[in-house]
A and B are shown apart, each in its own frame.
Chain A
Amino acid sequence: MALSGSVRFWKQQVLPLLANLRLAIVLLLAIAVFSIAGTVIEQGQPLAFYQANYPEDPALFGFLSWTVIRTLGLNQVYQTWWFMGLLALFGSSLIACTFTRQLPALRAARGWKYYQRPSQFEKLACSSTLKAGSLGCLQAALEQRRYRVFAADHTLYARKGLMGRIGPIVVHVSLILILLGAIWGSLTGFMAQEFVPSGETFKVEHIVQAGPWSASHLPQHWSVKVNRFWIDYTPEGKIDQFYSDLSILNQQGEPVDRQTIHVNKPLSYQGVTLYQADWSVAAVQVTLNRSPVLQLPMAPLELEGGGRIWGTWVPTQPDLSTGVSVLARDLQGTVLVYDMTGKLVSTLRRGMSMTVEGVTLTLVDVVGSTGLQIKADPGIPLIYAGFGLLMLGVLMSYVSHSQVWALLDEGVIYIGGRTNRAQITFEQEFMSTLAELVGGLEQPMTQLSV
Chain B
Amino acid sequence: MDLVALQNTLDNGAFAILLVTTLLYWAGVAFPKVPGLAVLSTAGLAIGNLCIAGLLGARWLEAGYFPISNLYESLFFLAWGLTTFALFAERMGESRLVGAVTAPVVMCIAAFATLTLPVGMQVSAPLVPALKSNWLMMHVSVMMLSYAALMVGSLLAIAFLVVSRGQPIHLKGSSVGTGGFREGRLNHTAAQTDPLPGGASFSSASGGTAVLTPVAAKEAPTLSIQRLTLAETLDNLSYRVIGLGFPLLTIGIISGAVWANEAWGAPWSWDPKETWALITWLVFAAYLHARITRGWQGRRPAMLATAGLGVVWVCYLGVNLLGKGLHSYGWFF
Contacts and interface: CB of A to CB of B under 8 A. Distances in A.
Given A418-B177, A423-B179, A431-B225, A25 B216 contact: no
B239 to A, nearest CB: 7
A427 B227 contact: yes
Interface in A399-450: 400-401, 412, 414, 416, 418-425, 427-428, 430-432, 434-435, 438-439
A394 interface: yes
A420 B176 contact: yes
Contacts of B258: 384, 387
Interface stretch (A125-133, A310-318, A319-327): A125-133
B173 A432 contact: no
Contacts of A387: 254, 257-258
B265 A273 contact: yes
A419 B225 contact: no
B176 A105 contact: yes
Contact of A129 (B179, B222, B227): B222
B218 interface: yes
Nearest to A109: B177
Given A131-B218, A391-B251, A421 B240 contact: yes
B3 interface: no
Contact of A25 (B177, B221, B278, B293): B293
Contact of B228 (A24, A275, A391, A427): A427
Contact of B283 (A32, A168, A384, A400): A32
Interface string A268-281: 00000101000000
B228 A424 contact: yes
Given A125-B179, A275-B264, A398-B243, A435 B207 contact: yes
Contacts of B175: 164, 168, 397, 420-421
A432 B208 contact: yes
Contact of B211 (A121, A384, A439): A439
Contact of B130 (A240, A264, A266): A264
Contacts of A127: 182, 223-225
B286 interface: yes
Contacts of B292: 21
Contacts of B319: 39
A145 to B, nearest CB: 14
A25 B286 contact: yes
B34 interface: no
B289 A241 contact: no
B233 A424 contact: yes
Contacts of B267: 380, 383
Contacts of B250: 390-391, 394
B243 A421 contact: yes
A118 interface: yes
Given A124-B182, A375-B265, A421 B239 contact: yes
Interface stretch (B5-13, B16-24, B39-47, B269-277): B269-277
A412 B225 CA distance: 16
20 contacts: A32-B282, A32-B286, A39-B275, A39-B276, A39-B322, A125-B180, A126-B225, A128-B212, A128-B216, A263-B130, A383-B267, A391-B250, A394-B251, A421-B239, A422-B173, A422-B240, A423-B173, A424-B237, A432-B205, A439-B211
Among all A-B residue pairs, the 10 with the closest Cβ atoms: A418-B180, A431-B208, A420-B177, A394-B247, A435-B208, A32-B282, A21-B293, A28-B286, A125-B226, A39-B272
Interface of A: 21-22, 24-25, 28-29, 31-32, 35-36, 38-39, 43, 78, 105, 118, 121-132, 164, 168, 240-241, 263-264, 266, 273, 275, 373, 375, 377, 380, 383-384, 387, 390-391, 394-395, 397-398, 400-401, 412, 414, 416, 418-425, 427-428, 430-432, 434-435, 438-439
